[in-house]
Amino acid sequence: MSTQLYVENVALERRFFSAIGFTEIAFQEVEGSETVTFAPDNKGNALLQIWDIQFIRAVSPEVAENKPSLLFTVDDIGEWHDRVEALGGFTSELETLGDKQTFNFQTPNGCFFAFMEN
């Protein structure tokens, strides 16, 4: 399963997700537009495919403005928090919900995501 993310600047998101430690699964050009697929770890059990929103507006305008709400579950939440926070931008503090720690963050293109420990 892959979640589609439509952004103004694919290269910026690519650098961001690489810098926080996501694994790049695939990169390709489609009709002159770049797309890249990431997974939070090398198991690839949750995929995030990033598309240029201008391309999506041209080929599938009905979905172009949809923004997913994603929660990634990870083992080393403190390490993930430190990596995301080190890049600047919005990163919440680690919080405890029930018996698990969580935090959310914003990517360079303004998309919001969250991590929760397994």
Predicted TM-score (pTM) of this structure: 0.89
Q: Which of 68, 29, 61 is nearest to 47 (CA)?
A: 68
Q: What is the pLDDT of residue 45?
A: 67
Query: What average pLDDT does the segment 17-38 reach?
Result: 94
User: Domains along the chain?
Assistant: 2-117 (3.10.180.10)
Query: What average pLDDT does the segment 24-48 reach?
Result: 88
pLDDT in tens, 44-78: 667 899 999 999 999 999 999 998 888 998 889 99
